[in-house]
Amino acid sequence: MELTLTSPTVLFPAISLLFLAYTNRFLHLSALVRKLHSDWLLGHEPAVRAQVDNLRRRIELIRWCQAVGLFSLIGCLASLLSLLIDQTVPALWLFILSAFAMAASLMLALWEVIISGGALNIYLNQMSHPHADRDHDQPR
């Protein structure tokens, strides 16, 4: 396989779009946390407390998505710079590392999407079993 200057640049648009998606999800979760905080201050709803754990996991996952995505971008840049100074072997390894970092970032994003359904299920369960809130309120 021959690595050219265009190879690492292929990941740049994908990484940019991923960061836009991650930032949008993070901003949405931030707004949701603020709303849940005001709901909690008003009534200490059990569903709000159940949402907090879910939101903590999701925010942490999005932060990891962003961090690993940044690592992918840095790897692409390092690969590109290595190619510019005719260091093809390090460039290839850096590009491969970048691709794996991007795949890891996508897997973390998939995990976050999967558990985001859990947030909705908390409210759906509360509406299906309105008296179960009192049982959920008890410490475990």
Top-confidence residue, 73 or 120: 73
In a domain, residue 54? The reply is yes
Least confident of 39-48, 92-101, 109-118, 130-139: 130-139
Q: What is the mean pLDDT of the chain?
A: 79
In a domain, residue 86? The reply is no
**Cα-only R_g, the chain:** 21
Q: What is the pLDDT of residues 46-90, one digit of tens each?
A: 666 777 788 888 889 988 988 998 899 899 899 999 989 999 999
**Which helix (H) or strand (E) is 70 found in, with range?**
helix 46-84
What is the pLDDT at residue 28? Answer: 80
Count how many domains the chain has. 1
In a domain, residue 2? The reply is no
* Three-state DSSP string of 26-47: HHHHHHHHHHHHHHHHHHCCHH
Give the span between the Cα atoms of 97 and 94, in whole angstroms.
5
In a domain, residue 24? The reply is yes
In a domain, residue 30? The reply is yes
In a domain, residue 80? The reply is no
Spell out the residues 6+ positions from residue 89 whose beta carbon is closer than 8 angstroms to its own.
none
What is the pLDDT at residue 117? Answer: 76
Structure token digits, residue 133:
């809130």
In a domain, residue 117? The reply is yes
In a domain, residue 87? The reply is no
CA dist list (Å): 140 to 6, 48, 55, 118, 125: 56, 17, 20, 20, 19
> What is the domain extent for residue 40?
12-73+93-137
What is the pLDDT at residue 45? Answer: 66
Question: What is the average pLDDT across 2-29?
Answer: 78
Separation of CA 96 from chain center = 21
